[in-house]
Chain A
Amino acid sequence: MNKIKYLLLRRVTQIIILGLYFGANAYGWKMLSGTFGSSKLMGFIPLADPYTTLQVLASGFVLGADVLLGALIITIFYMVVGGRAFCSWVCPINMVTDLANWLRRKLKLDKEEVNYRFLKRNTRYWIMVLGLIVSAVVGIAAFEVFSPITIMQRGIVFGFGMGFAVVLAIFLFDLFGVRNGWCGHLCPLGAAYSIIGKASIIRVDHNHENCTNCMECKIVCPENHVLHMVNKESIMVTDGECTNCGRCIDVCGDDALEFSIRNFLKK
């Protein structure tokens, strides 16, 4: 049970959040209505996705105060508390790419590592900036046109239509194409949350004394470059690209990894 504690917690969180969104449309619940683009918590607290908000602003429309306030609330939450937790605790695409990744490992598709010259992990930052430029040029939020995240969420809340094809494409890309291809290389939303959550207080802490160098954590980690300190130094994972998914903590059999609160005073 301890081996899947955070995995289970994350799945439960993701499913409860999606369930609340679903119920808002199907049964008129007021807990969490709307979609990630912009939501209402308890019927009155506005929430909005910061990157989506930026795209709309870039397209030249002055958004209503509700969205701006909502984006601010979300930004502050992840900036101070959660880090990049949206990606692993909320985003429904995470379930798709996690499944693809798990299958990849089971099918041993990673034996042959392919070098994708132009698909570096920093590609997402280029896409993030490009998305804003395209939004400004064309006059509509450019990433929202094919964002698998909101397409999947709206699919669950309002019905999929042909939208499932985008989700399937992500699954196939991550399974047969690039390992962690979508979440780890392309997704501009993840890129935005990486930047926002860089200084958050909840962090994974590594205790190098306990580490037996089994490398289980690096195998499961979707952004395993953030674990550069494993078996080297007893420091925290401070890279913004860490999604705080806690999978490394789950698989660690030596108590060498644990969630912790960043202490800014101690250097």
Chain B
Amino acid sequence: MANSDNKKTDRRKFFATTLQSVGLTALGGMLWSGYTNEVKASPLVLRPPGAIKENDFLSACIKCGLCAEACQNRETNRDKETGLAKKGTLKMAKGGDHRLIGTPFFIPTEVPCFMCEDIPCVPVCPSGALDQLSVSNDKGELDINKASMGLAVVHKESCIAFWGIQCDACYRACPLLGEAITIEMHRNERTGKHTFMLPIVNDNACTGCGLCEQACVTEKPAIFVLPNEVSKGKAGDHYVKGWDKEDEKRIENAKAEETTTERSNQSSADYLNSGDLY
């Protein structure tokens, strides 16, 4: 009798402990998931060239820092007098940076990306978070002009060129001079004898290196790089450039979607009789 009582309490204890362990694990898992989900939400971050889509990047990056080390220690980053490495472009996110800890990023106003031809940061990536193919040309050679780290955006209200003051700092700083940023001329009606020389960013050429942002003369840069996910819109399949053969290919696989709503004869009569006629 005593023995079976013992067994009973043993069994009860076992179930209670198991339940508690599982419950606490579930609690921990939920808190952990919630926290992890929060810390990965930082859309305003510029990644190294060749970075795969941000959401995949956050999962793929193993946070080793080889890219940042390659960036800092590249030949072109040596101080001419001391021979020591200067501060590199890529930083590794640390606590307080408000970016997923341990992932590489850069801030153009501090150190922009100088678009090295040999792209030292990309081939060293062991995990595949930086995709070498995305910054290679058809011959398989590295081509930094294919990088798309972000897109420069001009805020025309604070850009002094839009005021009519002559400034082409961003245009001249651009490594793809005349391609990524072009100058558009307009007559200045206010003075009647001057020209507006407006910087226009061309999405298909801009790599998002941020040299323009760093060069901008205004107190807070009027041209700045935003990540592609934030800076770019999307026309979708509803609008097509009918004059462009390439663009038409975009809708080859689009499915026609028809929505017809049965027209109600009653509703028009109801509307007149409902008394809501003001």
Which residues of A line the B interface, CB within 8 A? 24-28, 33-35, 37-40, 46, 48, 52-53, 56, 59-64, 66-67, 70, 118, 126-127, 130-131, 133-134, 137-142, 144-146, 150-151, 154-155, 157-166
Question: A37: which B residues are within 8 A, CB to CB?
Answer: 62-64, 102
- Distance, CA A250 to CA B96, complexed state (A): 41
Q: Does B55 contact A (CB under 8 A)?
A: yes
Nearest-CB residue, chain A, relative to B85: A28
Determine whether the beta carbon of A162 is less than 8 Å from that of B65: no
Determine whether the beta carbon of B95 is less than 8 Å from that of A161: yes
- Distance, CA A133 to CA B36, complexed state (A): 12
Question: A61: which B residues are within 8 A, CB to CB?
Answer: 56, 59-60, 127-128
- Distance, CA A61 to CA B127, complexed state (A): 9
Q: Which of B25-33, B189-197, B205-213, B268-276 contacts A (4 or more CB under 8 A)?
A: B25-33
| CB-contact partner of B128 in A46, A63, A145, under 8 A | A63
Question: B85: which A residues are within 8 A, CB to CB?
Answer: 26-28
Question: A157: which B residues are within 8 A, CB to CB?
Answer: 65
Q: Does B47 contact A (CB under 8 A)?
A: no
| CB-contact partner of B94 in A48, A63, A141, A163, under 8 A | A163
Determine whether the beta carbon of B102 is less than 8 Å from that of A25: no
Question: B55: which A residues are within 8 A, CB to CB?
Answer: 139
Determine whether the beta carbon of A28 is less than 8 Å from that of B73: yes
Q: Does B126 contact A (CB under 8 A)?
A: yes
Determine whether the beta carbon of A158 is less than 8 Å from that of B59: no
Chain B 85-128 per-residue mask, 1 if CB under 8 angstroms from chain A, else 0: 10000011011110011100000000000000000000011111
Determine whether the beta carbon of A154 is less than 8 Å from that of B58: no
| CB-contact partner of A38 in B91, B94, B126, under 8 A | B126
| CB-contact partner of B62 in A26, A48, A126, under 8 A | A48
| CB-contact partner of A67 in B35, B36, B73, B127, under 8 A | B127
- Distance, CA A53 to CA B96, complexed state (A): 25
Determine whether the beta carbon of B66 is less than 8 Å from that of A34: yes
Determine whether the beta carbon of B94 is less than 8 Å from that of A60: no
State whether A25 and B127 are in contact (beta carbons under 8 Å apart), knowing that A59-B59, A139-B59, A162-B94 are contacts in the complex: no
Determine whether the beta carbon of B68 is less than 8 Å from that of A158: yes
Question: A25: which B residues are within 8 A, CB to CB?
Answer: 65, 68-69, 72-73
Determine whether the beta carbon of A35 is less than 8 Å from that of B60: no
In order of increasing CB-CB distance, the 4 nearest A-B pairs are: A161-B94, A162-B95, A162-B96, A28-B73
